[in-house]
Copies of this chain bind each other. A is one copy, B any other.
Amino acid sequence: MNSKVASSGISRRALVSTLATLPVLSGTLFSTSAPAQTAADPLPSWNDGAAKQTIVNFVTAVTRDGSPDFVPVPQRIATFDNDGTLWCEHPMYAQLAFALDRVKAMAPLHPEWKDKQPFKAVLERDMKTLAESGERGLVELVMVTHAGMTSNEFAKIVTDWLAAARHPRFNRPYTELIYQPMLELLAYLRANGFKTFIVSGGGVEFMRPWTERVYGVPPEQVVGSSIKTKFEMRDGRPELFRLPEINFIDDKAGKPAGINEFIGRRPIAAFGNSDGDLEMLQWATMSGGVRLGLIVHHTDAEREYAYDRHTPFGELDKALDAAAMNKWTVVSMKNDWKRIFAFQ
Whether a CB of chain B sits under 8 angstroms from the CB of A282 is yes
Return chain B residues, CB-CB under 8 Å to A237: 286
Whether a CB of chain B sits under 8 angstroms from the CB of A90 is no
Query: In the complex, which of the residues B238, B256, B263 contacts A279, with contact meaning CB atoms closer than 8 Å?
Result: B238
B240 touches A256 (CB 8 A): yes
Return chain B residues, CB-CB under 8 Å to A205: 264
B229 touches A260 (CB 8 A): yes
Nearest residue (CB) in B for A236 is B286
Whether a CB of chain B sits under 8 angstroms from the CB of A219 is yes
Nearest residue (CB) in B for A288 is B237
CB contact under 8 A between A260 and B238, given known A28-B24, A220-B195, A253-B231: no
Whether a CB of chain B sits under 8 angstroms from the CB of A190 is no
Could you tell me the distance in whole angstroms from the C-beta of A297 to the nearest C-beta in chain B?
23
CB contact under 8 A between A220 and B263, given known A238-B279, A282-B238, A286-B238: yes
Could you tell me the distance in whole angstroms from the C-beta of A4 to the nearest C-beta in chain B?
31
Nearest residue (CB) in B for A287 is B238
Instruction: Give the docked Cα–Cα distance between A148 and B230 (Å).
Output: 30
B283 touches A238 (CB 8 A): yes
Return chain B residues, CB-CB under 8 Å to A11: none
Whether a CB of chain B sits under 8 angstroms from the CB of A146 is no
Whether a CB of chain B sits under 8 angstroms from the CB of A10 is no
Query: In the complex, which of the residues B230, B257, B262, B283 contacts A257, with contact meaning CB atoms closer than 8 Å?
Result: B230
Instruction: Give the docked Cα–Cα distance between A283 and B229 (Å).
Output: 14
Whether a CB of chain B sits under 8 angstroms from the CB of A226 is yes
B282 touches A212 (CB 8 A): no
Could you tell me the distance in whole angstroms from the C-beta of A227 to the nearest C-beta in chain B?
10
Instruction: Give the docked Cα–Cα distance between A5 and B86 (Å).
Output: 51
Q: A251-269 interface mask toward B, CB cutoff 8 Å, 1 = contact, 0 = none? A: 0011011001111110000
Instruction: Give the docked Cα–Cα distance between A257 and B205 (Å).
Output: 13
B261 touches A204 (CB 8 A): yes
Within 8 A of B (CB), among A74-126: 74, 77
Q: A177-209 interface mask toward B, CB cutoff 8 Å, 1 = contact, 0 = none? A: 000000000000000000100000000110010
Closest 7 CB pairs of A and B: A219-B264, A231-B253, A231-B256, A238-B282, A208-B264, A220-B263, A238-B283
A–B pairs, 14, beta carbons within 8 Å: A28-B28, A205-B264, A208-B264, A220-B220, A229-B260, A231-B253, A231-B254, A231-B279, A231-B283, A236-B286, A237-B286, A238-B256, A238-B286, A240-B257
Known: A28-B28, A238-B256, A238-B279. 19 other contacts (CB 8 A): A24-B27, A24-B28, A195-B220, A204-B261, A219-B264, A220-B220, A220-B262, A220-B263, A220-B265, A226-B261, A231-B256, A231-B257, A236-B286, A237-B286, A238-B286, A240-B256, A240-B283, A247-B261, A262-B262
